[in-house]
Amino acid sequence: MTDAAAGNPASPPPSPWERERPARPHAAPARAPLSRDRVVEAAFAVLDRQGLDGLSMRQVAAELGVTVSALYAHVSSKDDLLELMYTRLFDGFQMPEPDPRRWREQVRDYARSGRKRLLAHRDMARISMAHVPFTAELLPHVEALLAVFRTAGLPDRIVVEAGDLISTYIDGFVLEEGMWQDRAARHGGGGSSLARPDWREMADEMQNYFASLPAEDFPHLRALAGMMVTESSDERFDTGLEIILRGLASYLPDPAASGPDA
């Protein structure tokens, strides 16, 4: 029984002048609106992939699939973007209340967390060294670090220098780590620059070189060859930090106030 016999008229064939209509496309998923947070996240993606030298507003716009001009509704310039990226690293970080008996432990925790923050993204140490941390968002962290030193009893002149010294040590150490990582990636056939270098192999090469130097000209380098390069970056970082802390403790008016781990 045809549709017509059943009371349902059949569909007529298409007329010869009627154009074939393409199938209706599926609706594209709605794109999340552009925001400052999305711009910063895209900048981190570009930074990790291409490094600071390859980070540009054009690359960030391409990462987001927008025009460069669209970015400027959320960031005023590349320098503004770098500042936002650096500030983002401190999200969720908070210094504890200063404790004069634990000041060295508190500074160790601060330094280790600072190194961890910078290592979270490629070339962040370079961005940090070019950034002045006296912004409204970062001033509370500066204040908290200075409070740890002052509460411990360090002279004000030493407190000022200590804050800068710790920050410079963290930046410089991580900058060196990044340089070795990039070097290892280049020598490893173009792999990711975030790949961890073969520290043991490099350490063996350097130690063997120092041990082979003429004893009459380089007695100390030969004697210390086995300790000139350590396998662990964590160990190197903690040792350097300990040297700084013991030096700062020497400025305390009361040696007993240097803390239980003096």
The one-digit pLDDT tens for each residue of the chain (262 residues) are 555 555 555 555 655 544 554 555 554 455 678 999 999 999 999 999 999 999 999 999 999 999 999 999 999 999 999 999 999 999 999 999 999 999 999 999 999 999 999 999 999 999 999 876 678 888 999 999 999 999 999 999 999 999 999 999 999 999 998 887 766 666 654 444 444 455 567 778 888 888 899 999 999 989 988 887 766 789 899 999 999 999 999 999 876 555 556 5
Q: Are residues 79 and 134 in the same domain?
A: no
d(CA 64, CA 67): 9
User: Structural domain of residue 79, as residue ranges?
Assistant: 31-88
Structure confidence by residue, pLDDT tens digits, 66-95: 999 999 999 999 999 999 999 999 999 999
Q: Are residues 153 and 249 in the same domain?
A: yes
Domains held by the chain: number: 2
Domain boundary among 88, 105, 136: 88
Secondary structure of residue 183 in the 3-state scheme: helix
Secondary structure of residue 54 in the 3-state scheme: helix
Q: Are residues 51 and 155 in the same domain?
A: no
Q: pTM of the full predicted structure?
A: 0.78
Complete DSSP assignment for 146-172: HHHHHHHT--HHHHHHHHHHHHHHHHH
Closest CA to 152 of 94, 95, 102, 110: 102
Does residue 205 lie within any of the structural domains?
no
Q: Are residues 106 and 53 in the same domain?
A: no
- In this structure, which long-range contacts are made by residues 22-29, counting pairs with CB atoms below 8 Å and at least 24 apart in sequence? none
